[in-house]
Structure 1
């Protein structure tokens, strides 16, 4: 009998592992790269997730994400505090909790009012949801929807790829592409903040 229980435990699916779930956003979810960079995502207000990005253990910035996807505020950290005077805001036509949640094949064209350092402008962000796949952090697997975010309807060379995890209700920046190169943010671990 003990052998049967041991074998069952060894063959238990990863889904039974102690994996972070959407409810853990209250405490915070920590995504880490192999080189020590960290992004902590936390519930902020209804429909909004706060993302705190750390480089080499030092806070770099805080971003507010509507539906855990759409950047609605960026605030850098100046070494002692979040720098309100350098705050950028992005106002879409929907309230944060009413922003659309993309599914495979969606192409969302969203007008946005941008306030960068007190200078107002209008833009159109385009979000293209590619085919859903699976991503794994340790023993934990999640559905993952790659979303291409274009900042200009005319520029197809400059865009970000967000990895949206529907089961957690959050996205993180996975890659940025520019005409002369790209940056990759390869998160290898996911855990609940204690």
Structure 2
């Protein structure tokens, strides 16, 4: 039942993981699975703004195949967005993704997803200390999304520096 549902949703990891890196989405979203709901909303908005994204959806096994897909996703990306919260900073899997991103010289855009010290405490601190982050968590004046509108605009500007949006993907909301 689960396999059938995942296949229908297009999220099943195929046995043949050979991926054409040139056809992978230009944006890889790295996040800790506990914040998946918020990150899915971010992915949806980025895609409406014209940027195809790849993110690992779910904790449904996958093992080495999942790690291989994540590896290919990072290597094929033009830019990696790191959605950092306290759990992200303590996650071995997220740390592996950051290390691969850095070692493959991919541009990193860190999003601070909750109030925390910057750089984050722990092993991730020395790595992230070199990057400017976008404070992406203030909801005071914006109930529609988790993030302030001006911060999403800032994110789009940073992404645009590395990759142009796909005009065919842009929805009316993001034409301006």
TM-score over 0.5 for the alignment?
no
TM-score between both structures, scaled by the size of structure 2: 0.27
Q: Which has the higher contact order (CA 8 A, sep 6+)?
A: 2
* Larger CA Rg, structure 1 vs 2: 1
The normalised TM-score by structure 1 is 0.25
